[in-house]
Chains A and B, each alone.
Chain A
Amino acid sequence: VFAGAAREAVFSRPEVIRRINAEFVPLAVRATMANLIDPAGDEAEGRLYQRLKRTQVAPQGICVLNSDGQVLDWVETFENDASVLAFLDYAVQRFREHPAVTAPVAARRYMRYPTGRLPDVPDDPNPAAIAANHPAGQPCPALSRAHAAAPPGALAAALVGRSLDAGGQLSTDTVNQEHYVEDQFAIPADLQRAVVAAVDAASGRVRLPEGFGALCATYAFLGHIDVRPLDNPRGGSGERKRCEFWAEPVGAASPGLLRIEGQTEVTGDLAGAGGHHHQVQLAWEGFLTLDGNRITRLLLAARGTEALKYDRGQPLTPAGQPLPEVALLPGGRPVNQECGVHYGIIGTPVPGSAPEARAQEPPAAQPPAGNSPPAPEPARQLVGMLGPQFSIFLPEVQKELKLTAEQKQSLQEMLNGAGQGFAQFMQTVAPLPPDQREPKLQQFRQEANRAVGAALGQLLKPEQHQRLRQIVLQQEGLFAVGNPEVGGELKLTEDQQRRVTALMEETQKRFQALQEKAQAAKDPAAIHQEAARIRKEQEGKIEELLTTTQRARWKEMLGPPLPLKL
């Protein structure tokens, strides 16, 4: 929410825009880079990100640098609207005092400017200017990550949506996302092929695959990313109550052109502080142009109604007045509205995505309408893909650790970033064969765990950290004994360490053989039961290696069991 709230409350204000354009060099940096989750392109860029990471108040924020890349100031929120301009004055003055590297300069940090100052972070004792060029011929990796990009073969869909006023006219507010949204999403090649196959399968009017309408309905909503009714990054319940699209050829004079129409109704709910209720009902109309096995143009408009309640509470000043939006940037402000809405989607092929001849390959299998299994929540997906440390993002773990609202908010922002970073990574490696994909996934997993571990080190209290470690060990089971840190705590002998290593290698081989068998049988689901059996058997062998004292210590390290639904 921070990015959207800052865009609305700070960077859309005319006087702020004028001051930034006249007195600063504006730089937009993705938090995944500034938090060292995505790799930097070279040493100079990496040093700058390390400075940002070392001095930051939170994973997202506003920072002022001098022209040699020394961090002068960080700010997270502002006391009021006037404080934003006062901060710009302050930042200019700080820059005049320290325009370039001459000596160490401590980073001044504000949770809220000007009253919420945090301890300074000292500079490097021997600060050096950061080079202002990438090595010759090396492109800046931040440029390619700066904008959303659909993968090759996809249809890039750009969505715009506006609320309607009581008279049915477009709202004049085009800044706040509960009234105006722009978004992008990709219609993948396999879904395009399924649409073509559905059209080819019958003459006249045909029903389109549910995945097509589901995708459109997922993105057509007002508000920031955290109030998405379907597949919400924070979890909660989402339901497609209605989703049907129909297509009909326009006529022989316009080959490949189809008129489409549809009806969708979706709801989403997330309970508790910061939760939401969201309901969107839309009637769609538009056109599809097909060429070969691809959609080459999509035009869709929708009208309907929308109800949105975002309940983050209404924090008050000591005087009992509502806090201004600039004081609420990490979580945004409450929203409660019911209105008419109007959406539009224009889809164009990603450059280089030439259509192939139609019906060269079978269409992707579509799940029966209404029977598709619910997708796992993003946090649970990350636990499954990246490891048990990511269970910190699960609500039941956060409850067990008795996290504060601020800690939960910080974790939510981390989860959003981690989810987006992982999705982008998977898009990059998806086309690779398994033997090339797995090492990259392993490297990503290690880097993500390192970055999250470092962030949790700052965020959690010692007793919370201790309990999280117990929960992580419960998920890893006795395979954690292979970790030198855990093995050290259990005081494994050299012989025990060697035998544990051998057992883990044996386990790895058995899992690999099982995976190959399942792939050959084209039935990945069949391996789960067998994998559980192998795991139990191998863990039993490790337990047999431990002494009575070591087993007792291992039990202590696990703490009280916390079953997780993964």
Chain B
Amino acid sequence: MATGALVALVLGVAGPPTPAGAGKTPEALKAEIEALKPAQQAWRAIPWKNCPLDALKEARAKRRPVLTWVFLGNPADERC
């Protein structure tokens, strides 16, 4: 390796890295990303309502208590 290139690497100022996945197509990459998600996610098996009045309406119709989860963030679709 040339001295200049070695110095650049040591100093962390090397030029653009060589493409690693040059042969991959957008469709193949999209499939790879989508495969990271499981087919079913446990916490999504509970159909949480978001409107409290709608929940009361259903509670009256089904004669059930309302289990209310009070939280910060967006646990339905984000890190929390």
Contacts and interface: CB of A to CB of B under 8 A. Distances in A.
From A67, A160, A343, residue with most partner B Cβ within 10 Å: A67
A62 B67 CA distance: 7
A26 B47 contact: yes
A447 interface: no
Interface stretch (A116-124, A178-186, A536-544): A178-186
Interface residues of A, number: 99
A305 to B, nearest CB: 16
A62 B64 contact: no
From B26, B56, B63, residue with most partner A Cβ within 10 Å: B56
B3 interface: no
A140 B53 contact: yes
Contact of B77 (A20, A31, A184, A343): A184
A181 B33 contact: no
Interface in A502-518: none
A63 interface: yes
Interface in A310-328: none
Contacts of A285: 19-21, 24, 29
A61 interface: yes
B52 A45 contact: yes
A308 interface: no
Contacts of B32: 301, 344
B2 to A, nearest CB: 20
Interface string B40-73: 0111011111111111111110111111111111
Interface string A21-63: 1011111111110100000000011001100100010011111
Contacts of A183: 78-79
A188 to B, nearest CB: 18
B47 A17 contact: no
Interface string A341-371: 0111110000000000000000000000000
A46 to B, nearest CB: 10
A23 B64 contact: yes
B10 interface: no
Nearest to B42: A12
Contacts of A94: 65
Interface string A157-181: 0001110000000100011010011
Given A91-B67, A207-B16, A69 B73 contact: no
Contact of A146 (B45, B50, B62): B50
A223 to B, nearest CB: 8
A224 B74 CA distance: 12
B4 interface: no
Given A27-B66, A66-B65, A91-B67, A142 B52 contact: yes
A205 B16 contact: yes
B26 A27 contact: no
Contact of A160 (B37, B59, B75): B37
A31 B71 contact: yes
Nearest to A206: B16
A131 interface: yes
A62 B70 contact: yes
Contacts of A417: 72
B68 A65 contact: yes
Given A26-B55, A132-B57, 7 more contacts: A3-B72, A26-B67, A52-B70, A91-B65, A160-B36, A301-B32, A420-B72
